[in-house]
Homo-oligomer: A and B are copies of this chain.
Amino acid sequence: MPSSSTERPATPISAETFDVRFPTHETLAGSDAMNPDPDYSAAYLRLNTDQGAGHGFTFTIGRGNDIQVAAIESVVAQLAGADIDVLLSDMGQTWRRLVHDSQLRWLGPEKGVVHMAIGAVINALWDLRAKRAGQPLWLHLATLSVDELLSLVDFRYLTDALTVEDARAILTSAEPGRAERIAELQRVGYPGYTTGPGWLGYDDDLLAKLCREAVADGFAQIKLKVGGNLSDDKRRLQIARDAVGPDVRIAVDANQRWGTADAITWMRELAPYDIAWIEEPTNPDDVLAHAAIARALAPMPVATGEHAANRVIFKQLMQAGGVQIVQIDATRVAGVNENIAILLLAARFGLPVCPHGGGVGLCQAVRHFSFFDYAAVSGSMDGRMIEHVDHLHEHFVEPLEFRAGRYLAPSVPGASTEMRPESLQQYRFRS
């Protein structure tokens, strides 16, 4: 049975979970140097209350999605007996209650399966809260007071880089103009870039065709997977450059393939192709290696974050100069609250945030943070864009509106995380 419910009769919350897996390995969409045959999956949660439902999930790539579902069920069980209104009214406290549960914490701490499960639960609560407020999540966050935003962030382990006072100064200085930037976002949206052409499993003709289509679709940046074979990478970069012309940026992504020395050697070979950034050159925990790679390859920026386990890793990457492009992910860390902490860290260090999209529903979920960031945190779109992969969007209730290389502002109340009931049923995994 995919569903469970909390045990105490007093609780107004019940939870249903779903192990959802799409057989994406059949098309090699999503293939890269480290992930040759992913089955894009979601460990999916529906929180039912007497005043509507909230939806959250963790993205995985297949095997192990069952573990993630089990973890979400255990985390939800911690909320047995809780009053949903109390949980939603102080989401800072709710986050601390789950993340600091001393026994669950041992299984991380603050990383991996349990941390991502907490993220799914926290995100489902935010979906519910935004729906109740009648606002899309980004707008809901962008209309909170500075004090309430600060209350959402756990500053323990951050204060050597970002104090409460630093964060207050960032948010306060972005208060003037919030309304105007919100209106601008609703009018013109936010820039995206596309990873669609560049999967490692695609042949040269398909690569060239998709590159030309990306330009025609209005994208100012594309991204290619690299790290399998150096001469292949050079050939594919030349094909892509010929197809997109000199003005469209080309980023590359190694998906953690290398050690420090290999990353530097390989990327020096690719530098002549005018690389917008090198993404995930090495292990995502390796702050010092990222810093060494960034120093060696400067001015080529290093991008990372989709596998950064928590705000402490992000903080160090910024302190050490190991990241120039901050790639937050909607389901890797412990949900909305922790991503707000990371946006504040990025603002503190003056670094652009270019969120990780793709997978199952990541574009839907993560775009809210860029819209919120522009409205209420950094106040800037310079060098910032959201990854776009045109894939599996049809399984979500709310359409993903994207036009001429830009994400349109979400307008439906909630966090855009609700999957269609038919998709949940059709792709439910049966082991």
Cross-chain contact B70 with A67 (CB below 8 angstroms)? yes
Contacts of A38 in B (CB 8 A): 102-103, 106
Cross-chain contact A109 with B74 (CB below 8 angstroms)? no
Q: How far apart are the CA atoms of A158 and B283 in the complex, in Å?
A: 10
Cross-chain contact B64 with A74 (CB below 8 angstroms)? yes
Of all chain B residues, the one with the shortest Cβ separation from A78 is B63
Q: Which of B61, B62, B101, B283 is close to A157, meaning CB atoms less than 8 Å apart?
A: B283
Contacts of A70 in B (CB 8 A): 66-67, 70-71
A352 to chain B, nearest CB (A): 22
Interface residues of A in 47-105 (CB under 8 A from B): 60-64, 66-68, 70-71, 74, 78, 101-105
Cross-chain contact A108 with B114 (CB below 8 angstroms)? no
Known contacts A159-B259, A288-B287, A292-B160; A36/B102 CB under 8 A: yes
Cross-chain contact A63 with B101 (CB below 8 angstroms)? yes
A11 at the interface (CB under 8 A from B): no
A37 at the interface (CB under 8 A from B): yes
A34 to chain B, nearest CB (A): 6
Contacts of A66 in B (CB 8 A): 70, 74
Q: Which of A138-146, A304-312, A408-416, A418-426 contacts B (4 or more CB under 8 A)?
A: A304-312
Interface residues of A in 280-300 (CB under 8 A from B): 282-289, 292
A320 at the interface (CB under 8 A from B): yes
Contacts of A108 in B (CB 8 A): 111-112
Contact with B along A16-43 (1 / 0, CB 8 A): 0000000000000000001111110000
Query: How many identical chains are in the complex?
Result: 2
A260 to chain B, nearest CB (A): 4
Known contacts A160-B292, A287-B288; A102/B68 CB under 8 A: no
A115 at the interface (CB under 8 A from B): yes
Contacts of A392 in B (CB 8 A): none
Of all chain B residues, the one with the shortest Cβ separation from A284 is B109
Q: How far apart are the CA atoms of A114 and B110 in the complex, in Å?
A: 14
A155 to chain B, nearest CB (A): 8
Cross-chain contact A259 with B113 (CB below 8 angstroms)? no
A151 at the interface (CB under 8 A from B): no
Cross-chain contact A67 with B107 (CB below 8 angstroms)? yes
Q: How far apart are the CA atoms of A67 and B58 in the complex, in Å?
A: 15
Contacts of A37 in B (CB 8 A): 102
Cross-chain contact B64 with A307 (CB below 8 angstroms)? no
Contact with B along A262-289 (1 / 0, CB 8 A): 0000000000000000000011111111
Known contacts A113-B67, A114-B113; A106/B60 CB under 8 A: yes
Known contacts A103-B61, A261-B159; A286/B316 CB under 8 A: yes
Q: Which of B260, B286, B309, B320 is close to A288, meaning CB atoms less than 8 Å apart?
A: B320
A187 at the interface (CB under 8 A from B): no
Contacts of A104 in B (CB 8 A): 63-64
A5 at the interface (CB under 8 A from B): no
**Interface CB pairs A-B, < 8 A, 29:** A36-B102, A38-B102, A60-B106, A60-B107, A61-B102, A61-B106, A62-B106, A63-B103, A64-B71, A64-B74, A64-B107, A66-B70, A67-B74, A67-B117, A68-B107, A71-B113, A108-B111, A109-B307, A110-B285, A111-B309, A112-B113, A157-B259, A157-B283, A159-B260, A160-B288, A160-B289, A285-B285, A287-B288, A288-B320
Beyond contacts A34-B105, A64-B103, A288-B316: 12 other A-B pairs, Cβ-Cβ < 8 A, are A37-B102, A38-B103, A63-B103, A64-B74, A67-B70, A67-B71, A70-B70, A109-B256, A112-B113, A112-B115, A156-B259, A160-B292
